[in-house]
């Protein structure tokens, strides 16, 4: 049974799973679908209309929140723009205060958004992505699984899986801490390091470099997902910093 605190607003037509908790002054619109165990803190709004000047409020669309996801104070998740469309948040996510997920975004499981993350429409985040506070995302950008985005970063290009990015679309190395937390084997991490070096350190077109490396064959599905990411998307893929110090290269290659 869901627990609804006084002054929370649950519109007719909203769907709440088992053991959801909706705190005071939160708003769950009729367009929201919450999985089991979702927690919505004060001031959060789930399923609000898109911030799109052309949007017709009569459109029937949704915002879907996966099981056990936590939305802290004043988080906003807008519904999709197209009839029958969904803004999708995965399971076991944690969104900190004032994070905003715009219309038609798709986020995987175990995603963390720190305070004041700003996400435009149609952004895709892979599972286990970690987004630092105040980071902003251009519409239609993609961020791969287990990527880490630094606080206050400005992301207008795609960020591959398993990497760290900061500032303005700057890839700065592999997310080794995130890889170890997911208990990837030393062999998988070593292969990802090799793929990263070949794509980013050898110069030239990084999309073509990724295709070449993939064409020679890789052992792990993680390395394959890293390389295949470069062939998709609409925004282009972020490059590494132009000047790499000895310390940065050592960090990228560290065991």
Please give the Cα distance from 63 to 107 (Å, whole number).
Answer: 11
The SS3 call for residue 38 is: coil
The SS3 call for residue 226 is: helix
Q: Say whether 31 is catalytic.
A: no
Inter-residue long-range contacts of 107-115, CB under 8 Å, 24+ positions, other chains counted? 108/145, 109/66, 114/151
The SS3 call for residue 167 is: coil
Please give the Cα distance from 16 to 26 (Å, whole number).
Answer: 14
Query: Rounded to the nearest 5°, which phi and psi values hold at 130?
Result: -125, 120
Of the candidates 206, 179, 208, which has an alpha carbon nearest to the alpha carbon of residue 192? 179
Please give the Cα distance from 25 to 176 (Å, whole number).
Answer: 40
Q: Say whether 100 is catalytic.
A: no
The one catalytic residue in 41, 103, 122, 124 is: 103
Of the candidates 208, 215, 213, which has an alpha carbon nearest to the alpha carbon of residue 231? 208
Largest CA distance in the chain: 61
The one catalytic residue in 47, 121, 144, 150 is: 121
**DSSP-derived secondary structure letter, 231:** G
Q: Say whether 121 is catalytic.
A: yes
The one catalytic residue in 104, 109, 158, 169 is: 104
Reported as half-sphere exposure (CB side, CA atoms, 13 A), residue 190 has a value of 5
Catalytically active residues, by annotation = 103-104, 121
């Amino acid at each position: 049974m869901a627990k609804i605190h006084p002054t929370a607003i649950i519109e007719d037509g909203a769907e709440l799973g088992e053991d959801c908790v909706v705190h005071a002054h939160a708003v769950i619109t009729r367009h929201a679908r919450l999985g089991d165990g979702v927690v919505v803190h004060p001031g959060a709004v789930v399923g609000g209309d898109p911030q799109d000047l052309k949007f017709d409020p009569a459109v029937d669309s949704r915002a879907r929140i996966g099981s056990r996801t936590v939305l802290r104070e004043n988080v906003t998740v807008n519904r999709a723009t197209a009839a029958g469309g969904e803004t999708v948040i995965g399971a076991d996510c944690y969104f900190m205060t004032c994070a905003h997920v715009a219309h038609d975004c798709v986020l995987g499981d175990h995603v963390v958004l720190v305070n004041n993350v700003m996400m435009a429409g149609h952004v895709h985040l892979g599972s286990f992505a970690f987004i630092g506070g105040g980071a902003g995302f251009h519409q239609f950008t993609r961020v791969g699984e287990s990527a880490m985005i630094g606080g206050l970063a400005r992301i207008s290009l795609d960020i591959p899986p398993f990497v760290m990015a900061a500032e303005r679309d700057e890839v700065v190395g592999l997310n080794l801490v995130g890889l170890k937390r997911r208990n990837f084997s030393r062999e998988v991490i070593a292969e990802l390091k090799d793929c990263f070096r070949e794509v980013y350190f050898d110069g030239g077109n990084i999309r073509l470099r990724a295709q070449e490396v993939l064409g020679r064959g890789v052992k792990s599905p993680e390395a394959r997902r890293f390389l295949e990411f470069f062939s998709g998307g609409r925004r282009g893929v972020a490059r590494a910093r132009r000047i790499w110090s000895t310390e940065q290269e050592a960090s990228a290659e560290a065991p």
